[in-house]
């Protein structure tokens, strides 16, 4: 049996009834507190018009919980963080020491990557195409590659080092990864044949499609989809079938399987 005071303390934690003063300082980021930049932003967002993501009133999520910071977990050691913190940002944060040339990259690429991606990044079978496609983004069949589409070279370094070669991830050294990225940039006409990519000059590399990305603007450009009174009667003229899946006949299992019997 608990002593009543202990029981009460437990009950208070569970009921989320501790004073706000018990909140840690960073809690000012919470929309409710309306302090700090994120708080202001969240508040502004909450006050925007009806075309906003609704506050989940039925499920107030974290707001009603975690009033007492749980004394769980243990401090992460620097070596542990270093082992897992492998991400690289567009500003170069996270890049390791090292360098690699286009020439070195070609060697590694032919050995480790070309079987799936082709000797020149043109892709083999259904594996991704990594080079080419310049000027195709407005066409009927865009070719989205590192050179034609990707906004940041840092993504190539991060992703290759993180998850490639497919099935043998995190096996490449920093120098090998710099070299492969240099080779891919060269295949995409971003750098010359004698280029050496390094931590120092990484930030200077600019990909051509960078300026053509913009943040989600659906609430503005698709404002017309918010409509309190959609048409219910006689909304269209004569309706004709203009496209049929059956013509293509690419559905797996044909007509026999997957049907309710």
Partner 1 sequence: MSQIHEPGKGRGGEAGTASLSRRRFLSAAGIGAGVAAAAPLSAVAARAAAPDPNIVPVPDWTKTLGVGVNNNPYGVPSKFEKDVVRREVEWLTASRESSVSFTPLYALDGVITPNGLCFVRHHGGEAEIDPDKYRFMIHGLVDKPLVFTLDDIKRMPGRVNRAYFLECAANSGMEWRGAQLNGCQFTHGMIHNVFYTGVPLRAFLDAAGVKTSAKWVLAEGADASVMTRSIPLHKALDDCLVAFAMNGEALRPEQGYPVRLVVPGWEGNMWVKWLRRLEVGDQPWAQREETAKYTDLLADGRSRRYTFIMDAKSVVTSPSPQAPLKHKGPNVLSGIAWSGRGTIKRVDVSLDGGRNWTTARIEGPAMPMAMTRFYLDFDWDGRELLVQSRAMDETGYVQPSKAELRKVRGENSIYHNNGIQTWLVHGNGETENVEVG
Q: Which of residues 177-216 bind partner 1 (CB under 8 A)?
A: 212-216
What residues does 117 pair with on adjacent strands? Answer: none
8 A C-beta contact, residue 146 and residue 207: yes
Cα gap 19→22, rounded to integer Å: 6
What's the min distance (Å) between Cβ of 38 and partner 1? 5
Minimum CB distance to partner 1 smaller for 3 or for 233: 233
Going by C-alpha positions, the residue among 33, 35, 34 that lies closest to residue 20 is 33
Going by C-alpha positions, the residue among 190, 189, 194, 186 that lies closest to residue 204 is 190
51 contacts partner 1 (rule: CB under 8 A): yes
Which range of residues in 96-104, 105-113, 123-131, 186-194 is near partner 1 by CB under 8 A? 123-131
Minimum CB distance to partner 1 smaller for 6 or for 80: 80
x/- map, 140-179, partner 1, by CB under 8 A: x-x-x-x--xxxx-xx--xx--xx--xx-xx---------
What's the min distance (Å) between Cβ of 4 and partner 1? 20
8 A C-beta contact, residue 96 and residue 174: yes
Interacting residue with partner 1 among 41, 97, 111, 203 (CB under 8 A): 41
Place of tokens 């009033």: 67
246 contacts partner 1 (rule: CB under 8 A): yes
What's the min distance (Å) between Cβ of 194 and partner 1? 27
19 contacts partner 1 (rule: CB under 8 A): no
Cα gap 51→21, rounded to integer Å: 34
68 contacts partner 1 (rule: CB under 8 A): yes
47 contacts partner 1 (rule: CB under 8 A): no
What's the min distance (Å) between Cβ of 191 and partner 1? 19
Q: What are phi and psi of 181, to 5 degrees?
A: -65, -40
What's the min distance (Å) between Cβ of 187 and partner 1? 16
The total of other beta-carbon atoms located within 10 Å of residue 126's CB is 6
167: left (phi over 0), alpha (psi -120 to 50) or beta: left
């Amino acid at each position: 049996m608990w002593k009543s005071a202990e029981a009460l303390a437990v009950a208070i934690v569970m009921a989320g009834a501790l004073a706000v003063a018990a909140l840690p300082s960073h809690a000012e980021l919470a929309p409710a507190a309306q302090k700090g930049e994120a708080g202001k932003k969240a508040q502004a967002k909450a006050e925007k018009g009806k075309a906003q993501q609704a506050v989940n009133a039925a499920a107030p999520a974290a707001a009603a919980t975690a009033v007492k910071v749980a004394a769980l977990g243990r401090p992460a050691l620097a070596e542990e963080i270093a082992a897992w913190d492998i991400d690289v940002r567009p500003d170069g944060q996270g890049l390791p020491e090292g360098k690699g040339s286009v020439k070195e990259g070609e060697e590694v690429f032919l050995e480790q990557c070309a079987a799936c991606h082709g000797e020149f990044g043109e892709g083999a079978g259904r594996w991704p195409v990594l080079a080419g496609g310049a000027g195709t983004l407005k066409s009927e069949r865009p070719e989205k590659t590192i050179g034609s589409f990707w906004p940041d070279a840092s993504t190539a370094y991060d992703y290759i080092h993180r998850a490639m070669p497919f099935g043998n991830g995190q096996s490449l050294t920093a120098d090998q990864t710099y070299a492969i990225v240099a080779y891919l940039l060269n295949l995409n006409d971003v750098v010359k044949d004698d280029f050496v990519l390094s931590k120092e000059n990484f930030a200077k590399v600019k990909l051509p499609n960078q300026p053509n990305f913009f943040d989600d603007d659906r609430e503005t450009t698709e404002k017309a989809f918010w409509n309190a009174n959609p048409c219910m009667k006689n909304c269209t003229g004569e309706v004709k079938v203009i496209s049929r899946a059956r013509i293509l006949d690419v559905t797996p299992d044909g007509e026999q399987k997957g049907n309710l019997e």
